[in-house]
């Protein structure tokens, strides 16, 4: 197998407290271990000149400056698109393949602008044009940004040839815009700590992940939890992720951001992950819990049904159905046999789905075919 020079364009985390994007770093390290050269390009409005960082993990990180704030918005995001397009015009030819992670941040628009010869492939992460419809606040800065982003997203999907997808939902989205798209099914890599954890079925609490991200529906989760504590006054709700507003509830524990080991420690206190999201593609929190064997209760939205077979590998509930969520969590709390069944089944299927060797093999094989234009 030939060694490849790979460029990723990705929303690499640049400061503490933001989403750590572990699927990026996990796969990056595996590609380097397999003998490939990897550079990750990201962009930031907080710097004034290109920064080159040695990550210490065998791959390089390039941070590209662009004008942010009101100039970025008034330009309809062209400040970032143009800055990245200028860099790619000069440097893209030295790479064998370019992998764009996500359609939320206008990265592929920089490639479309240049008509480069280097082949590229887009991983579908979230689908911003679908997500924005579920935002509770339509008159907000986030809704405006997501509306602009969705215009770029649809154009990128319409005019790009190659995609990595994971769920039936994201594949259908790509096909609905681009009938000629060539799609490779490839799941994301998960951190090894979740493969090492073992369920004990002694936890009595509930885990919620996603902080106060509006599409994760923390407010709904809190209402459901309040009803549960009337019958189970000792039950705790563990909230992982950033929460930027204050509320006072003695049974709610705010953990902030946790690493994989920290999340696994919370697993041991809980009988399930509760994921009442309004929309999602393949949330890592659900995949990680399934690999570990923590039962999952999640809404039947987006790509989640591609992860969960109801009553077999998790429990699916209707979006915004407060009574249905309450009844399902109450049932699972008392039914240890159901907990064990869901745990066993989800671990078995999710570990095959997220096998790191398979993911690396599929990723590199796709890169090799792109580099030799075998997918054309």
Per-residue pLDDT of the chain (376 residues; tens, 9 = 90+): 589 999 999 988 776 555 557 888 899 999 999 999 999 999 999 999 999 998 899 999 999 999 999 999 999 999 999 999 999 999 999 999 999 999 999 999 999 978 788 999 999 999 999 999 999 888 889 999 999 999 999 999 999 999 999 999 999 999 999 999 999 999 999 999 999 999 999 999 999 999 999 999 999 999 999 999 999 999 999 999 999 888 788 999 999 999 999 999 999 999 999 999 999 999 999 999 999 999 999 999 999 999 999 999 999 999 999 999 999 999 999 999 999 999 999 999 999 999 999 999 999 999 999 999 765 5
Which residues partner with 122 through β-bridges? Answer: 100, 163
pTM, to two decimals = 0.94
Domain with CATH 3.40.50.2000 in the chain: 5-189+355-371, 192-353
Instruction: Give the H or E element holding residue 69.
Output: helix 69-74
Q: Are 263 and 196 in contact (CB under 8 A)?
A: no
Residue 144, pLDDT score: 93
Element (H, E) at 367: helix 356-371
Class level of CATH domain 192-353: alpha beta
pLDDT of residue 115: 79
User: Both tokens of residue 181?
Assistant: 């798209």
Task: Report pLDDT for 374.
Answer: 61
The β-bridge partners of 37 are 5
Other C-beta atoms closer than 10 Å to the C-beta of 60 total: 14
Dist. CA 114–CA 72, nearest whole Å: 20
Residue with tokens 């987006």: 302
- The CA angle 43-47-52, to the nearest 5 degrees, is 65
Q: Which CATH superfamily is domain 5-189+355-371 in?
A: Glycogen Phosphorylase B; (3.40.50.2000)
| CA pair distance 156, 189, nearest whole angstrom | 24
Please give the pLDDT value at position 230: 96
Q: How far apart are CA 219 and CA 326, in angstroms?
A: 14
- In whole angstroms, give the CA distance from residue 66 to residue 82: 9
Long-range contacts of 37-40 (CB under 8 A, 24+ apart): 37/3, 37/4, 37/5, 37/6, 38/6, 38/7, 38/8, 39/6, 39/7, 39/8, 39/95, 40/7, 40/8, 40/9, 40/10, 40/12
| pLDDT at residue 2, rounded to an integer | 82
Per the CB < 8 A criterion, the answer to whether 3 and 97 are in contact is no
**51-54 sheet: strands from edge to edge:** 51-54, 60-65, 37-44, 5-9, 97-101, 120-123, 162-165, 182-185
Is residue 4 within 8 Å of 371, Cβ to Cβ? yes
């Amino acid at each position: 197998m030939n060694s490849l020079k790979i460029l990723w364009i990705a929303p690499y985390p640049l400061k503490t407290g933001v989403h750590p994007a572990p699927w990026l770093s996990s796969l990056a390290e595996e590609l380097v271990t397999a003998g490939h050269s990897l550079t990750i390009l990201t962009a930031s409005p907080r710097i004034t000149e290109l920064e080159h960082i040695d990550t210490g993990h065998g791959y390089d990180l390039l941070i590209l400056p662009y004008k942010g704030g009101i100039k970025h918005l008034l330009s309809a995001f062209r400040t970032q698109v143009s800055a990245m397009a200028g860099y790619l015009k000069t440097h893209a030819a030295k790479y064998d393949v370019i992998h764009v992670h996500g359609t939320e941040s206008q990265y592929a628009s920089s490639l479309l602008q240049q008509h480069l010869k280097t082949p590229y492939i887009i991983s579908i992460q979230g689908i911003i044009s679908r997500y924005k419809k579920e935002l509770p606040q339509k008159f907000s800065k986030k809704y405006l940004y997501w509306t602009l982003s969705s215009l770029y997203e649809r154009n990128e999907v319409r005019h790009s040839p190659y995609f990595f997808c994971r769920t039936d939902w994201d594949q259908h989205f790509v096909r609905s815009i681009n009938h000629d798209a060539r799609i490779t099914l490839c799941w994301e890599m998960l951190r090894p700590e979740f493969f090492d954890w073992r369920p004990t079925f002694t936890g009595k609490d509930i885990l919620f992940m996603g902080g106060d991200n509006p599409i994760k529906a923390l407010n709904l989760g809190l209402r459901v939890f309040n009803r549960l504590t009337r019958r189970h006054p000792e039950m705790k709700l563990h909230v992982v992720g950033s929460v930027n507003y204050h509320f006072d509830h003695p049974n709610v524990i705010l953990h902030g951001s946790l690493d994989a080991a920290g999340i696994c420690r919370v697993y041991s206190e809980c009988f399930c992950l509760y994921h009442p999201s309004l929309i999602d593609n393949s949330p890592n929190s659900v995949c990680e819990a399934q690999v570990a064997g923590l039962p999952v209760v999640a809404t039947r939205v987006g790509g989640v049904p591609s992860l969960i077979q109801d009553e077999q590998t998790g429990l699916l509930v209707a979006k915004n159905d407060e009574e249905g969520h309450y009844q399902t969590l109450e049932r699972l709390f008392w039914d240890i046999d159901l907990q064990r069944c869901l745990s066993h089944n989800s671990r078995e299927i999710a570990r095959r789905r997220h096998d790191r060797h398979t993911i690396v093999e599929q990723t590199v094989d796709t890169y090799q075919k792109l580099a030799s234009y075998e997918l054309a």
